[in-house]
Amino acid sequence: MIDIKGLRKSFGSNEILKGIDLQVNKGETAVIIGPSGSGKTTLLRCINLLETPNGGSITIGKSELAFREDKKVSNSETLTLRQRTGMVFQGFYLFPHMTVIKNIMEGQVTVLKRSKKEASEKGLMLLDKVGLLDKKDQYPHELSGGQQQRVAIARAMAMDPEVLLFDEPTSALDPELEAEVLKVMKDLSKEGMTMVVVTHKMSFARDAAHKIIFMDNGLIVEVGTPNQIFENTRNERLKQFLSMIDD
């Protein structure tokens, strides 16, 4: 499903990703953990081409794209790869002047060219899935942070992505609201949605991840199952990181 080889990304002279190799199979939930500045978010943004890598390649499904310093990626190539992913950010980024249902319909109508009827039906189905059908006619400012993030998840799913990417989706929420978002994500994981999640929530990683990727200093240091990572690692840097995390 996702095959990343030799991915590199620099900002000026600052090398953030130093040659990343990563595979995520269809239906897997891959959770990326690591200290601040390790390159987690940059990797996620490169997968979605919000940042253009300087080298390496990304394959998602049947779409493959190689990156070179001397060749610019075209808009059509970017769009083809990006349409295979949906991304949920730390912030919610809902359109404040649109109701919940219209937020979910907008991309379907403008990008996927669905009819308003079809987009509405899809949106209502997804709102029901995330437990917010009764909020369909409300505006974002009338919702809690957790509710807004669940709408953002529904909006991402409405575009029929092959992969959902999550960048610290609960970091701005208090624990009660955090729990409702994590429940939706766990449900998606159980249903077989392919997901790559950057998070500081080790409890989510333990419960939902098929594989955990530990990053440090722009490199993938260790990959394993939750049991391998949390209970049986011999990597001293990972042990040090986990000892400092209070979930």
Q: 144-197: per-residue pLDDT in tens?
A: 999 999 999 999 999 999 999 999 999 889 888 999 999 999 999 999 999 999
Q: Which percentage of the chain shows pLDDT scores above 70?
A: 99
SS3 140: helix
Q: At what angle do helices 116-129 and 100-110 cross, to 10 degrees?
A: 130
pTM of the predicted structure, to 2 decimals: 0.94
CATH 3.30.1360.120 fits 2-84+162-244, yes or no: no
| Per-residue pLDDT reduced to its tens digit, 218-229 | 999 999 999 999
Cα 9 from Cα 52, distance rounded (Å): 8
Mean pLDDT of the chain: 95
Give the domain ranges of the chain.
Answer: 2-84+162-244, 95-160
| Residue 39 predicted with pLDDT over 70 | yes
Backbone angles phi, psi at 132, to 5 degrees: -130, 25
pLDDT at 133 over 70: yes
Residue whose pair of structure tokens reads 């940059």 in the numeric block: 42
Q: Are 162 and 195 in contact (CB under 8 A)?
A: no
Amino acid at the residue 11? F
